[in-house]
Amino acid sequence: MCREYLQNLRGAEVWRATRYAHPRACMAVEATTHREGKQGNATLQKEEMLRRESFPPDDDNQYYELPPSGSAHTCGTEQAVERALFPQLVNKAPGPDKLSFGATWLLWKRDNERILRLMKAAFRRGRQPSVSKWATGVVIPMPGKDDYTELKAYRFRSLLSCIGKVVEKLDGALLSDESKRR
């Protein structure tokens, strides 16, 4: 019965079950204070405060205007994408899309045209697809802090989409090349 229950767990239920199987020491933290003076006592309140502090709410890009057409999308060649993709370590943790660099490498070897089109489209539009901007965040208390009731005593580790990282790296390389050219 227990084995059947564990085999049918999905998503967050798996992690909840491991928490009971492998108990860890829990750090009790007093009320957390936001820089505006608001206090959070319950765990959900603290999580929401940390989330809003680290990831301010998005305005859904409702006022975003597309930049004038340029030619950056023509610089997204196979060689440029390979220079951005292949130096990445395959053991890096993937973001919420669960598509690791190892899987991205395999996709590149099988259908590099698809990734190349995605990169060029991101540069043509002047922004990344919203899917590659999602992140999984983990709150970590910073060691040696005197007061763990303040938000600045914690830091986030963000796991980003691997495809998004490649777009950012390619963008950085193009900006660097352009600044050297000028």
- pLDDT tens digit sequence for 15-44: 665 665 554 545 555 677 767 777 777 777
The distance from CA 86 to its chain's CA centroid, rounded to whole angstroms, is: 19
In a domain, 17, yes or no: yes
In a domain, 64, yes or no: no
User: What is the residue range of 85's domain?
Assistant: 2-56+71-181
Residue 63 has what pLDDT? 57
Residue 84 has what pLDDT? 87
In a domain, 62, yes or no: no
- pLDDT tens digit sequence for 80-137: 888 888 888 888 878 888 888 888 888 888 988 988 888 888 888 777 777 777 778 7
More confident of the two residues 70 and 113:
113
Work out how many domains the chain is built from and give that number: 1
- Contact (CB, 8 A) for 167 and 122: yes
In a domain, 63, yes or no: no
Q: What is the percent of the chain with per-residue pLDDT over 70, rounded to a whole number?
A: 75
In a domain, 149, yes or no: yes
In a domain, 61, yes or no: no
In a domain, 21, yes or no: yes
Angle at 117 between CA 77 and CA 80, to 5 degrees: 20
